[in-house]
């Protein structure tokens, strides 16, 4: 993070809010001309600070209003199993987030589905994975906050 200056940080803040802005618009907002602004964005992409640019979709409009947080426990605590589990989860389109956890459960999955029946179908596939000993499902009642914007530290923060 130390190699980022105030302009880079401002570019990142703007881009994570609205990636559809043109280079001209970005340059104007941060007080640069087009070419230096474009170079900075390219550098941020090449360095991996900007991982990718995507469109954020509305799950409810797409008929996927149910978010389930599944806590998964396993009796397999070795690298080979973890890699196998990671590959299997990556192939399940309903899983939109997956975290390896410290604590009572080993993994936390966020699953997005159309309804309870769709989750039940997903659950039946999930529990077939070798080594899973327990799954606790928590259904979201209301989404209070959801953002993809990271709290980028700025000078004085």
Q: Is 113 found in the same domain as 78?
A: yes
Alpha carbon distance, N-terminus to C-terminus of the chain:
13
Strand residues in 37-126 grouped as ranges (E): 66-74, 95-100, 107-113
Taking only the tens place, the pLDDT of each residue in 74-128 is 999 999 999 999 999 999 999 999 999 999 999 999 999 999 999 999 999 999 9
Examine residue 84 and state whether it is found in any structural domain, yes or no: yes
Enclosing domain of residue 80: 66-139
Contact in structure between 49 and 4 (CB atoms under 8 Å) = yes
- pLDDT interval class at 157 (50, 70, 90): low
Q: Helix, strand, or coil here: 36? A: helix
Q: Helix, strand, or coil here: 133? A: strand
- Quote the CA–CA distance of 122 and 131 in Å, as a whole number: 17
CATH of the domain at 75: 3.30.70.920
Q: Of 1 and 64, which is predicted with more confidence?
A: 64
Examine residue 26 and state whether it is found in any structural domain, yes or no: yes
């Amino acid at each position: 993070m130390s190699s980022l200056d105030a302009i880079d940080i401002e570019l990142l803040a703007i881009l994570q809010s609205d990636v559809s802005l043109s280079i001209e618009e970005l340059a104007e907002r941060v007080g640069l001309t087009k070419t230096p602004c474009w170079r900075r964005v390219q550098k941020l992409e090449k360095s991996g600070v900007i991982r990718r640019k995507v469109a954020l979709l509305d799950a409810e409009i797409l008929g996927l209003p149910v978010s389930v947080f599944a806590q998964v426990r396993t009796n397999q605590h070795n690298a080979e199993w973890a890699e196998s589990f990671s590959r299997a989860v990556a192939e399940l389109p309903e899983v939109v987030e997956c975290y390896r956890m410290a604590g009572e459960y080993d993994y936390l999955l966020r699953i997005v589905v159309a309804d309870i029946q769709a989750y039940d179908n997903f659950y039946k596939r999930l529990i077939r994975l070798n080594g899973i000993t327990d799954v606790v499902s928590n259904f979201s009642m209301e989404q209070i906050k959801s953002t993809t914007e990271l709290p980028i530290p700025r000078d004085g923060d």
